[in-house]
Structure 1
Amino acid sequence: MARLGAICGWLAIAWVLLGAFTSFPTPVAGGGDAELATVASEARQVIAVINWFYLRHRACPQPSRPGELAILEGELGDGFSATQRDWFVEIRGISMTGSWLYNTSARYPDRCTLWRELGQNATLIWRRHDGGRWTFEPGDGGPERPIKFAPVQAGMGDK
């Protein structure tokens, strides 16, 4: 019976990782969302690792815990780095055109945020809370707006 439980656990992890690796966001609507989808696709490896960690620990990796930061960086794999920067983590990768920033709160361990500054104060944001949601903050004083990406396959965590 324990073996069956272990197999089911590994299948669940494989399902999350497979979905994250085989799907990348594509825009539902045209316009500027196509460029945002390209930038968002750079984060798929990071999101896959966050989802994997959450599946195993029922919490997002806490940057304030060195062991969890080491797990995050180790699971990202070769070509990626995760460096503590004050209250957030800067994530860089060879497949990324810029740095992504990550943060979570010890008060709400099931919630975390990954974001990328795009210039002129515009920011693309992914939040893990009850799955994952993308938003765009234009940086011009306008409101943050949700973005729906249509994943090629389920698994991107876009609700």
Structure 2
Amino acid sequence: MAHVRGRTPARRPAIQKVALAVAAVFVLIGVLGFVPGFTTHYNELAFAGHHSDAKLIGLFQVSVLHNVLHLLFGLVGLVLARRLAGARLFLAGGGAAYLGLWLYGFAIDRESAANFVPFNDADNWLHLFLGFGMLALGLLLNNDVGTGGRLDTPIDRP
């Protein structure tokens, strides 16, 4: 196995491993949203909007747009997790974004056009859990970040 700048995958900081795992789960969830069986009422999967009656594992309301957003978020996370600062950004920034989604889902009328992704109660509780969880992981997992320690290997040196 070739070494890239003296770092092997086994020596990746924990925050990068966690960010990679979280991103991979988002990709998996995005894919499973298009799989009948994992998604109940698959024949009622709409592109967007609160009229989509499809539910991932019979619980979380999904649409084509919702599934695509999970896929894109996961793919961005996989790219960002390759670097230490990117992993932290993905977890902390993604956590903040999910807290924003929770507030949005809490505030809107779910039977209105504002529920275009769509969200239901299960989605809102999951967004709250993901928001706090990802934010905490992004801010607390790596104690060296922000203390004057090296964040990553500089790009211009081995």
Do the two structures share a fold, i.e. TM-score over 0.5? Answer: no
Bigger strand fraction: 1
Relative contact order (alpha carbons < 8 A, sep ≥ 6): 1 or 2 greater? 2
Higher fraction of helix: 2
Please report the TM-score for the alignment, with normalisation by the length of structure 2.
0.31
Larger radius of gyration: 2
TM-score using structure 1 length: 0.31
